Structure 1
């Protein structure tokens, strides 16, 4: 059985599942390499308009595999120091690959998201959680730093600096109810309805203009890095003009409202 599964549960919606439930979908290299490849493959799939990511079994991702992590590819002849660098670069590239996916990525957090698993969840564009979801920046508990795979960048932007400092420095668990309250997830739903809620959201997104959705995703992430409001507003304006002037989407939206029907965006 492959460690990463790709399915099409609904039209234009692709599901990627980390499929090593006996290890709580830990970040072994034989899981993370095909996961990165799956992200790149789905990003190139022009039939896919939104992506859902989840974990098999009772957990989303338990972070580093402390028992059988395996070895990254292409390390023959390298010293331990260089192997360590290659390993971290490979895992960093997984987070970057999630950010580079053209389509919006929705994380279905179906259970614990620990350490690197918490980082993966934060790299998604949208997070929905089951009632059994749990988040922990586990590095600090293991005598390491809690900063890994972009966590110290992503978490303060998701929930604010003070909360991020407290969670990362204390190494405590954040349950689903608190995660929703502080904005770590968009909302919490019963576990048996989690994927359905994600698919419903993905289908809604898929019904809009492709360039409109993709440019909105880019603008939102760009806004988190913007050096000034003026600079970011200029970029937003260019994106809006691009879609307005190069498609008939706006005219179709107006016509659809007048005719009391859903719009059919042809881009």
Structure 2
């Protein structure tokens, strides 16, 4: 495994991915982006893993694109700019799509900065836990680019609402942890965000395997549902499928024994 991404398995069911460029506030280099792609691909095939925690080493979660190498030669495949730039842009952006598609719930444990691409990656996760030091900023528009990048024009309005998302993306203002909690950008603030994220992951691992996977899929799908009826149809089918796994009877019996 590349040294820019540390992978730990505190239990066989939980994977902890740590962006490991602390001297650069875990900025997204070519090597780090490729390491993340490789690990997300591996997790997609890993049926033992039930939940993923994503965090950063040192003082920051991720400061966004590494501006010392904004368009690495390796990404172009021998093409000239702007085609080479488009390939690199798409490669980074596809990280958010892979997190979104992953069967396992992904919990971001954010300390320090989550700027630009770092915010994009955090926003693609299913749950976000912040340290009191956490700070969130879209940043792209400050760099002379458009404000919409790496999925934030999709994810942020669905997390915090359109009005707040327009404010954050257009102004690129910094949102601290306490405000992020009020806005719903994060669901918890903790002095030990990785421990909090691991506790969430452990809770999820106590639930039915199909139930957790289908819940993530139904939640994301029904954000796009055309009507309540369409959402109910998907929920109903997922519930009946979940009831066929045998896990429902086992977990229900456990609850009854406790009662």
TM-score of the superposed pair, with normalisation by structure 2: 0.95
Offset from partner CA, 1:51-77 (integer Å, 9 cap, x none):
000011100000111113462646343
2:257, 2:164 → 1: CA distance? 48
2:252, 2:245 → 1: CA distance? 13
Q: Please state how far the C-alpha of 1:248 moved relative to its aligned partner.
A: 2.1
Do the aligned partners of residues 71 and 176 (structure 1) sit closer, same or farther apart at CA in structure 2, a change above 3 Å counting? same
CA contact (8 A) 2:71 2:88 kept: no
What are the within-5 Å matches in structure 2 for residues 221-260 of structure 1? 221-244=220-243, 246-260=244-258
Q: Please state how far the C-alpha of 1:179 moved relative to its aligned partner.
A: 0.3
CA contact (8 A) 2:208 2:248 kept: no
CA contact (8 A) 1:39 1:97 kept: yes
Q: What number of residue pairs does the alignment pair up?
A: 258
Do the aligned partners of residues 208 and 222 (structure 1) sit closer, same or farther apart at CA in structure 2, a change above 3 Å counting? same
1:238, 1:11 → 2: CA distance? 30
Between 1:232-241 and 1:5-14, the stretch displaced more is 5-14
Do the aligned partners of residues 177 and 78 (structure 1) sit closer, same or farther apart at CA in structure 2, a change above 3 Å counting? same
CA contact (8 A) 1:91 1:149 kept: yes
1:23, 1:132 → 2: CA distance? 17
Aligned to 2:169: 168
Aligned to 1:206: 205
1:223, 1:172 → 2: CA distance? 30
1:143 matched to 2:144? The reply is yes
CA contact (8 A) 1:133 1:176 kept: yes
Aligned to 2:215: 216
Aligned to 2:160: 159
| RMSD over aligned Cα atoms | 1.5
**Gap runs ≥5 in structure 2:** none
Aligned to 1:196: 195
1:70, 1:56 → 2: CA distance? 24
2:256, 2:225 → 1: CA distance? 38
2:75, 2:159 → 1: CA distance? 35
Q: What is the DSSP-based 3-state SS (H/G/I as helix, E as strand, rest coil) of the residue aligned with 1:259?
A: helix
**Gap runs ≥5 in structure 1:** 262-267
CA contact (8 A) 2:75 2:88 kept: no
2:79, 2:197 → 1: CA distance? 43
2:6, 2:17 → 1: CA distance? 6
Aligned to 1:14: 15
2:78, 2:150 → 1: CA distance? 26
Between 1:213-222 and 1:44-53, the stretch displaced more is 44-53
1:179, 1:74 → 2: CA distance? 34
CA contact (8 A) 2:76 2:88 kept: no
Q: Please state how far the C-alpha of 1:253 moved relative to its aligned partner.
A: 2.8
Aligned to 2:33: 32
Q: Please state how far the C-alpha of 1:148 moved relative to its aligned partner.
A: 0.1
1:76, 1:172 → 2: CA distance? 36
1:194, 1:92 → 2: CA distance? 25
Aligned to 1:88: 89
CA contact (8 A) 2:75 2:84 kept: no
Q: Please state how far the C-alpha of 1:11 moved relative to its aligned partner.
A: 4.4
